[in-house]
């Protein structure tokens, strides 16, 4: 009997410690992932950094924040020179949609231009630093031309196509006048969409936006004077203003999305290798884009 009691006691002790360790691990994982399940006044932060090429991760986070009742407002932190037309428009649309349920504020960092500003214009309010580079309301499309290089190395490309515009932008030949005209109309149509959405999001007359939508970039201070930005301030100023808009009393708690697990490919394709791939394939994968080329502006 004593031996049986000892065995059951040890089993019970193991179960107890198993539950205890499991609980500690669960709580630790919750904290490390910054996933908040308790009730409180929270602000969901969405960081949009670098080239805008894939909208799905951002859309997923926005949807999660929209459904989470403990998150009272959403803060977009934008550090981007722009990116693809489709991804920028998708995120803009979702920002507008979420803004009907909860206040959304955009905080502009060092640069939020072209597609980056497109997204910001969907928010209820925009706060930028005085020296933020923003605006650049325009569309760009470019193709390389390797005809002279091909002549030197004796390479002659042969293309078989189903229609006269199917290989438009082919780097192995000169662009024809009708192809250039077609692309100009395409760019103009996308540009009109950009201008229309900015005017709607910022509640500005269409004519006013058209006058400044020639690709020019503005400082945060200039953008405020033009009505493209509401106020000047840093990230903390944006947090404080969003807390006020959301009716949060006291200091709000910031919630960040769960970080993506890194696999072997993520580790391999980092740094210079990743940068090289982006430079090589950007033009082919995303020729039509809202993008601003960052100049060397320093203080």
Of the candidates 55, 80, 88, 114, the residue annotated as catalytic is 114
Reduced to 3 states (helix: H, G, I; strand: E, B; else coil), residue 150 is helix
Decide: 84 and 286 in contact? Cβ < 8 Å. yes
The answer to whether residue 89 scores a pLDDT higher than 60 is yes
3-class secondary structure, 185:
helix
Task: Decide if domain 38-291 falls under CATH 1.10.3720.10.
Answer: no
| Sequence ranges of the domains in the chain | 38-291
Strand 288-291's sheet: what is its strand order? 82-84, 288-291, 140-141
Number of C-beta neighbours around residue 129 at 10 A? 21
Residue 282 has pLDDT above 80, yes or no: no
Select the more confidently predicted residue: 175 or 120.
Answer: 120
* Sign of the alpha-carbon dihedral angle for 296, 238, 126, 290: positive
Mean of the per-residue pLDDT values of the chain: 83
Res 258: pLDDT? 75
Residue 275 confidence (pLDDT):
55
**Active site (annotated) includes residue 208:** no
Judge contact between 233 and 109, C-beta under 8 A. Answer: no
Residues paired with residue 290 on neighbouring β-strands, in sequence order: 83
Residue labelled with tokens 């992932």:
33
What is the distance, to the nearest Å, from the Cα of residue 72 to the centroid of all Cα atoms in its chain? 21
> For residue 32, what pLDDT is reported?
41
pLDDT bracket for residue 70 (50, 70, 90): very high
Rounded Cα distance between 215 and 138, Å, is 5
Between CA 180 and CA 196 the distance in angstroms is: 24
Q: Which of 31, 164, 166, 185 is catalytic?
A: 166
Mean pLDDT for 259-288 is 55
Write out pLDDT tens, residues 187-218: 999 999 999 999 999 999 999 999 999 999 99
> Counting Cβ atoms within 10 Å, is residue 173 exposed (0-12), middle (13-18) or buried (19+)?
middle
Q: How confident is the model at residue 221 (pLDDT cuts 50, 70, 90)?
A: very high
Amino acid 169: pLDDT: 84
- Paired strand residues for 74: 44, 104
The predicted-structure confidence for 176-186, as pLDDT tens digits, reads as follows: 999 999 999 99
Q: Does the structure show a pLDDT above 70 at 126? A: yes
**Model confidence at 287: pLDDT above 90:** no
Residue 288's pLDDT band (cuts 50, 70, 90): confident
Rounded to the nearest 5 percent, the helix, strand and coil shares of the chain are 50, 20, 35
Locus of tokens 């994982």: 29
Residue 254: φ, ψ to 5°? -85, 130
The answer to whether 67 is a known catalytic residue is no
Neighbours of 256 (CB within 10 A): 15
């Amino acid at each position: 009997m004593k031996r049986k009691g000892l065995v059951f006691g040890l089993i019970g002790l193991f179960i107890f410690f198993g539950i205890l360790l499991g609980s500690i691990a669960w709580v630790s994982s919750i904290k490390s992932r910054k996933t908040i399940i308790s009730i409180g006044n929270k602000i969901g932060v969405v960081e949009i950094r670098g080239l805008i090429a894939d909208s799905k991760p951002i859309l997923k986070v926005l949807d999660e924040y929209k459904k989470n009742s403990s998150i009272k407002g959403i803060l977009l932190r934008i550090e981007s020179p722009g990116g693809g037309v489709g991804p920028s428009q998708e995120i803009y649309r979702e920002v507008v949609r979420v803004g009907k349920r909860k206040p959304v504020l955009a905080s502009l960092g060092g640069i939020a231009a072209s597609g980056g500003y497109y997204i910001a214009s969907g928010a209820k309010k925009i706060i930028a630093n005085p020296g933020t580079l923003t605006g650049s309301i325009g569309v760009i499309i470019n193709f390389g031309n390797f005809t002279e290089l091909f002549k030197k190395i004796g390479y002659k490309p042969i293309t078989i196509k189903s229609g006269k515009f199917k290989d438009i932008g082919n780097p192995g030949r000169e662009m024809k006048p009708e192809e250039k005209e077609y692309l100009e109309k395409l760019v103009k149509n996308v540009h009109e969409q950009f201008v229309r959405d900015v005017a709607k999001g910022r509640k500005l007359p269409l004519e006013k936006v058209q006058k400044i939508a020639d690709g020019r970039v503005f400082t945060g201070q200039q953008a405020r004077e033009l009505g493209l930005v509401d106020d000047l301030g840093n990230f903390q100023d944006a947090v404080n203003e969003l807390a006020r808009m959301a009716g949060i009393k006291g200091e709000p708690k910031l919630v960040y999305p769960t970080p993506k697990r890194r696999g072997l490919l993520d580790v391999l394709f980092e740094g210079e290798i990743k940068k090289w791939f982006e430079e090589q394939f950007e033009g082919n994968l995303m020729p039509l884009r809202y993008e601003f080329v960052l100049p060397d502006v320093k203080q």
